[in-house]
Structure 1
């Protein structure tokens, strides 16, 4: 199937055509990603990278430089050789929460914590092929998996979305209305019949 020439071409497709197009795009992306010298996965909060290295490789044999906006992975015994991975990261990472190790003496495992934990990355290193983040289907997770602050924020957003869908006021407006009602109860001598409330 020919790639759409313009984003509106996607809108003109039937659901079946769009699914076929998305499958073709995923297959092409998988092919491009398979050619990279590493494999990577991500959640909204982090990126995990595995880099195959020769059997018998130990931590002291590897140079891994993680900087806020760049990554380099190289084998020390061949200083003249090109690094396995080197380049600018798609976005900034939290250095203190990033780690790396060598597993089974054949794989370098790198964990990057995203600075912006609400953003999908189209690629790890900016000069490598991109994936279409719109096609990402995150694993289902429950609110119980989230930390307290994030969970509270998500629950508030969900509540406000439900209120909007039902045509009701959001939580801030509901709080203001409750305060006004409480004030009215405390001051029965005042006439509120002509009062206008602006939210």
Structure 2
């Protein structure tokens, strides 16, 4: 028997109630799929955090951890199979990624390489052969802005301001700063002609 909404019905054609029910069902399916993995994971725009439960008493020297640009492997020495091994969804910055063990739980911080190069990106999964989550449903927490240290927060706020300004066709904060400096310079040197001055 098929669903009342019909499996072929497109998401955009569903009513609000159908979408809510569909989303809830999808979230539950995702949750169950993720629960079968040998690790749990969370992410923000810059980092993926993987938490791996280990046999009691396991210490750092008992583990073989491989952190490559596109590969992750965790194996307890002496056990025949790795706990997890595979190709990462996207490249990581090897030098900025790390792992620690606390009370038989390994925490792996994977620094997304996209954070350094291009726009930030949500990962649908950690390893490419594992089930995906729907990244369009991720809600970044606004409160997180207040948790950031001053410098990072300033950078994020500047980025958000610049994006808003660009969207409205207005000058970005850097351009505003240049205009301000030019105005100040004009006041200090009234004898100079700035009619042909160009902003670079």
TM-score, normalisation: structure 2 = 0.74
**Residue in 2 aligned with 1:197?**
none
1:3-42 mapped onto 2 (5 Å cutoff)? 5=8, 9-42=10-43
Question: Aligned partners of 1:155, 1:12: CA distance in 2, in Å?
Answer: 37
**Structure 1: tracts of 5 or more residues without a match:** 193-199
Q: Is the Cα–Cα contact under 8 Å of residues 38 and 52 in structure 1 kept in the other structure? A: yes
Count of residue pairs the alignment pairs up: 188
1:91-110 mapped onto 2 (5 Å cutoff)? 91-105=90-104, 107-110=105-108
Question: Aligned partners of 1:157, 1:102: CA distance in 2, in Å?
Answer: 35
User: Cα RMSD over matched residues?
Assistant: 3.5
Of 142, 146, 154 in structure 1, the residue corresponding to residue 145 of structure 2 is 142
1:32-181 mapped onto 2 (5 Å cutoff)? 32-78=33-79, 81-105=80-104, 107-117=105-115, 118-139=120-141, 140-142=143-145, 145=148, 148=151, 154-156=156-158, 158-159=160-161, 162=164, 169-171=170-172
Question: Aligned partners of 1:42, 1:20: CA distance in 2, in Å?
Answer: 25
4+ residue segments displaced more than 3 Å: 1-6, 150-165, 167-179
Question: Aligned partners of 1:173, 1:102: CA distance in 2, in Å?
Answer: 46
Bigger shift: residues 133-142 or 90-99: 133-142
Q: Is the Cα–Cα contact under 8 Å of residues 3 and 21 in structure 1 kept in the other structure? A: no
Q: Could you tell me how far 1:13 is from its partner in structure 2?
A: 1.6
SS at match of 2:144: coil
TM-score, normalisation: structure 1 = 0.74
Structure (1 or 2) with the larger CA radius of gyration: 1
Q: Is the Cα–Cα contact under 8 Å of residues 4 and 10 in structure 1 kept in the other structure? A: no
Q: Is the Cα–Cα contact under 8 Å of residues 145 and 153 in structure 2 kept in the other structure? A: no
Q: Deviations over 1:91-126 (max 9, x none)?
A: 111111111122113x22211111112111000000
SS at match of 1:32: helix
Q: Is the Cα–Cα contact under 8 Å of residues 92 and 110 in structure 2 kept in the other structure? A: yes
**Structure 2: tracts of 5 or more residues without a match:** 196-200
SS at match of 1:142: helix
Q: Could you tell me how far 1:128 is from its partner in structure 2?
A: 0.4
